[in-house]
Amino acid sequence: MKFFIISIVTLIAILTGCMVTADISENLVQTGNLSIDTPSVQIQNSDVPIGILVMKSGFVADIGEEYLRAFELALNNSPDSPIRPMIMDGGSEPTKAISSWKEMKESKPEIPTVITVASWTSNVVYPEASDMGIVQVALGSAAINQSSSSDRLIRFTPGVAQESPVLASYLNKFDRIAVIGGDNDYSNGYFSTLDALLPGKIILNIRYNQDSVETTLNYSEIIESNPDVIVLLSVSEGGEVIRLLREHNITTPFVGTRVIERNSLTEINSADGLIFTSPALNTSHPFFNQYFEKYGENSTFYGAEGYDAMSMLSSAVSECGDSSKCLYSWFENRTYNGTLGRVVFDDMGVASYPIAMKIVKDGKFEEYRE
């Protein structure tokens, strides 16, 4: 298996289609499934390999790009970090995640830590990472089938159990609730939780293919069910779902979860009025200005989560090196103030932080108040 080494700046330039410049000491190792260049200088302190499985293809590739941008900024701000990220494509569905994880663990079985982005990728990696004693840092993963109390799983994304009460509290005033989402672990896991929190109120639960929403979304079934509110368990395709439903004369109010938050929503007129859950971000953190100045758009919670995760991991690796045991212990019962606000990890490595609600209003995201 051949490996190539590129600077993280070159990688981001390839992904974004533009050249960027930065003084950064980290290198990224990638497999040969991406055409890349080799730098003339290798950095001596980048000596702890960290695996990263992030979406670079499929319907949520834009979210993967935001994570990669945030990783870059975090590493730029931690020039002495000893980590050497190894990025592979986790894809937008389990099949790609399975093949990439297989390739990663076979080529670098000694990696102490792997970052997994998206629930399907985290669920693919979890069983073997747990058995191998690898520290798994799960991002964008609100639905993980965690089955062991002795694993080394660090969850930056508060699970459905933490977020759903906020959403259920809002939805409780409705009697007829329709739930619509993509056919994935996140939608299925979230529906089960809402169904338990809102007994007898969910009258419709349907799925669509995220890659072909227009042909797989059952409009007539939604119209016939006549719901009081529609819960969208949608990710980057959320804007398309909203547009299509409105074009089919479905005027029911929309409510979403944090994963629907994309800058593109503010450009869709029919998304006006959408209410959704979201972390109560610390927008005064320098990261947000840095992100906007570099990329010309605001970071969502995806970027904030990616920045905090990479920043903290850099600190952890600086103290622990490649010791998985030390790295996991480093996160246990740790509290910090970052882009996500005040974050508290419990003794199982699960983060919690305040969850609020936002609304799309006049082309902007604003805090929602009833």
Three-state SS across 68-126? Answer: HHHHHHHHHCCCCCCEEEEEEECCCCHHHHHHHHHHHHHHCCCCCEEEEECHHHHHHHH
The pLDDT tens digits for 203-235 are 999 999 988 999 999 999 999 999 999 999 988
Q: Above 60 in pLDDT, residue 125? A: yes
Q: What is the Cα gyration radius of the chain? A: 20
The pLDDT tens digits for 318-337 are 999 999 999 999 999 999 99
- pLDDT, residue 98, reads 96
Task: Read off the pLDDT of each residue in 241-245 and give the average, rounded to a whole number.
Answer: 96
Percent of the chain with pLDDT over 70: 87
Percent of the chain with pLDDT over 90: 70
Question: How far is residue 50's CA from residue 325's CA, in Å, rounded to a whole number?
Answer: 15
The pLDDT tens digits for 169-179 are 999 999 999 99
Q: Above 60 in pLDDT, residue 43? A: no
Q: Above 50 in pLDDT, residue 41? A: no
pLDDT-derived band of residue 6, with 50, 70 and 90 as boundaries? very low
Phi, psi of 269 (to 5 degrees): -55, -40
Neighbours of 35 (CB within 10 A): 9
CA separation, residue 80 to residues 49, 83, 116, 242, 315 (Å): 15, 9, 23, 45, 10
The pLDDT tens digits for 275-288 are 999 999 999 999 99
The pLDDT tens digits for 13-24 are 434 433 333 333
- pLDDT, residue 46, reads 56
Query: What's the whole-model pTM score?
Result: 0.80
Burial 114-139 (b: 16+ CB within 10 A, else e): bbbbbbbbbbbbbeebbeeebbbbbb
